[in-house]
Chains A and B, each alone.
Chain A
Amino acid sequence: MNLTGPRLAWVALLAAGCGGRPAFWSSPIASSLPAFNLGTEVALVDASADRVVLLSVGHAQSLTATSVPVGVNILNAAASPDGTKLYVVSAGHRAQLGDGQPDEHPSLTVVAAGTAAGAPPARYDLTNVTDPLAGLAIDPSGRWVVLYPSDGNNQPFVQNPNELAMIDLSQPAGPTLAVVHTLMSFGGHPQRFTFTPPLALPIGQHPLLVVESDQDVSLLRLDLDNPPPEITIPLTNGSDTRLLTPAGIAVYPGDTTTGASIGIRLANDNDVVALQFVANLDAGGNPIGNGFLPTVNLTDVGGIASDIAFVRTDGGLRLGALVPTKSKATLIDPTTNLTEDVALPAPYQSLSVVTDSLGTASGCGGAAAGAAPPTDVALLWNGTTVQGQEGVAFWELGQAGCQPYRSIDTVGITDVVADVLDVPTPNATLKVLQTRSANTFYILNLANRTAAPLETADDNIGLSVSPLGDQVWTFVPGGTTVFATRFADELPRSLLIERPVAGVYEVGSADTDPAVIVLHDDGGVGATVYDATMPDDATRRLYGGLLLGGAP
């Protein structure tokens, strides 16, 4: 064999090409990774590596990244309403002939807080689902997850928009048969899912799944092995043929004297719908179908309702609806359909019942009404256009010793409040008000009804309330500014941050002091970790390449 120089070089080059590496190293890190604060860890959904990375903090701001493998081809991820669990839906993989990647069913992986400390994640392999469903609805009680068709990549070529795959998480993890159900379709597409608490129905206490499509509402029972067909309520106003689109619901679970009720506001009609329930039994007292039927009451509130909530007034339970186009609220008696309008000083668009946050601190009315039936205090916000009255207002819904009946008490905030953040105990009587396009945020004290302004140099700010309820973190997304403001003294303290900020997450653990993880996401993923209680530049630690470790 005549081995000339070039041939020898080619032999070396070919030999050098042998071998390979896991696909992990060739999969780039996506920008703007979804991140979730699970309380003790920050979960990063690293979709291109088919895993979740949990960041947990130990002694002296040490940061540990724990890789949790999930099903391949992640479609969606969402945290539970209480924020302690992360649910990850994966499409799986259908292996073709000669495919080196093994066949894998669609799956749901539940990553709970504490997984980084060794608790294994629960993975449910959906053996009877072939095509991926990306929509994800989570039962606040933790028992059910519903998958439904959604827009996005990796969705099947042909899909039934009314298909639901319901997964009972009370069963052991592993191969799982999802309860597959097709909603009776009148042409609608499911838009929102609400898992109710147990409702006082004529047949007893039962939770329901309320599905809002773009033209009707369906009610499903999930607490039966073989649930009867759902009840679908087409939405029309009776005066024309328009299909009405639900825009949100409010649920009253019922009590010892009042049955459950569901309120529905509409996106394209002045009516508000109130559902109540009557028994549906045969002559022998046996349930027919679900055993109950809804009664539908429509109430014209004079404009499109922007928000609704069930409130307790001293006149009884009412469905409160905000009508910003009329700068008013309407109280609807769900039983009689009688209404009462309350004029508002601004076109508030959002309503939050803050009675529970007030506790016994309301001072005027509210839950501290002695032996009288408890009544609510509502916070009205997200007003627009009326200069000087855009901020927030308290709406007293009960007879008060120092306030007139159903009075509106405005707070001197001159900015439009875009969001209201809850503050955990021990400062539950505080709310953090995020403004829209204003260089200010507020700490609202529900007890004394004062709002402390905190001015910022930028109107594009992110806010994150400490899970300990002792401070609020303020940052500029993409900037290098992070401040902590303690509620006790309302004094801002800055952190020294040297990389662009993607998010700020305060986490705690039983073993160490709480820490704040300032996430950087500018090409790679890094973090700056501070002691959350006593932020000190001298003890901060900086981490880079957080998603480069933990290779499979």
Chain B
Amino acid sequence: MKLRARTTLAGAITLALMSALPARAQTGLEAVAGPPVRPPVWEVTAGVRTNYLKSAGYDPFSSNDALVQFSAIGTRTVIRRDRLALVAGVGLDVGGSSADARGAPSSLTLTRVSALAEGRFQPAWRFYLFARLAPGLLHGAATISDASSPATSGLTGDFDAFALDAAAGGAFCLGDLGRAHVGAWLVADGGYGWAPDQRLVLAPPLGADQSKAGTLDLGTLAARGGFFRIALALSY
């Protein structure tokens, strides 16, 4: 699934670059007629976010420290003053990791829903920098399909926690799309995603017999760490 997602992303980036080529060819005309892409007011972004989780609690679910998520953001410019803008929006990061924990298939899914506030500085029409703060809610779900589990679905556990992202990055305009001059942007940002420690306690889901289930304590998961994101955005 991830490979397919990444292939799709690569294809999308390639298409975007190809679609941007005519825009580059028109650069001479644009100098006369003004920029074909106006500063973004509405913007939707989709991309890949890679998180670095150094927590020991993450080890059962990944053979490395990376957790890759699909990332989607929608924003609207609230205030614009010359080259500066204040943007608000919402974001969704969803994804996870799967591995073998001592031979037992394991997976961890992290879903983050956040509200974001972003300050932008756009020195040129093709380029802007931003700094973003995004408080939100983080939901984690872990599963280990240990054959010894009393339930066929293995051992499961989940948690919800407050999360806060702080990031900075930049966006480069690849060109415009269609007669509406929808802007196509390549956006890259990085930062730190914080979430409090979560005790990862898994149990077989036994429904009404849940009281009969013993638990597996996998220790503390600190779902926080640095991240970077590469995305494509469309603005209008």
Contact = CB atoms under 8 A, between A and B. Distances in A.
A5 B230 CA distance: 11
Contacts of B64: 16-21
Nearest to A11: B230
Contact of B6 (A12, A17, A525): A12
Q: Considering residues B6, B68, B104, B154, which has the most beta carbons from chain A within 10 angstroms of its beta carbon?
A: B104
B148 A27 contact: no
Interface in B37-68: 48, 50, 52, 54, 56, 59-60, 62-66, 68
Interface string A504-532: 00000000000000001111111111000
A16 B102 contact: no
B9 interface: yes
A26 B63 contact: yes
Given A4-B14, A16-B50, A522-B147, A25 B228 contact: no
A13 B151 CA distance: 35
Given A5-B14, A25-B60, A27-B102, A545 B54 contact: no
B155 A545 contact: yes
Contacts of B102: 24-29, 49, 524, 547-548
A15 B102 CA distance: 25
B202 interface: yes
B217 A549 contact: yes
Contacts of A6: 10, 13-14
A523 B146 contact: yes
A551 interface: yes
A541 interface: yes
Interface in A1-47: 4-6, 8-9, 11-13, 15-22, 24-29
Contacts of B123: none
Contacts of A49: 102
Interface stretch (B86-94, B114-122, B126-134, B208-216): B208-216
Interface string B176-218: 0000000000000000000000000010101000001111111
A402 B199 CA distance: 70
A17 B67 CA distance: 10
B24 to A, nearest CB: 13
B220 to A, nearest CB: 11
A19 B52 contact: yes
A62 B214 CA distance: 7
A406 interface: no
A548 B106 CA distance: 11
B28 interface: no
Interface in B1-19: 6-7, 9-14, 16-17
B161 interface: no
Contact of B150 (A20, A22, A525, A544): A544
A498 B204 CA distance: 13
Given A9-B13, A542-B213, A17 B66 contact: yes
Interface of A: 4-6, 8-9, 11-13, 15-22, 24-29, 49, 62-63, 498-499, 520-529, 540-549, 551
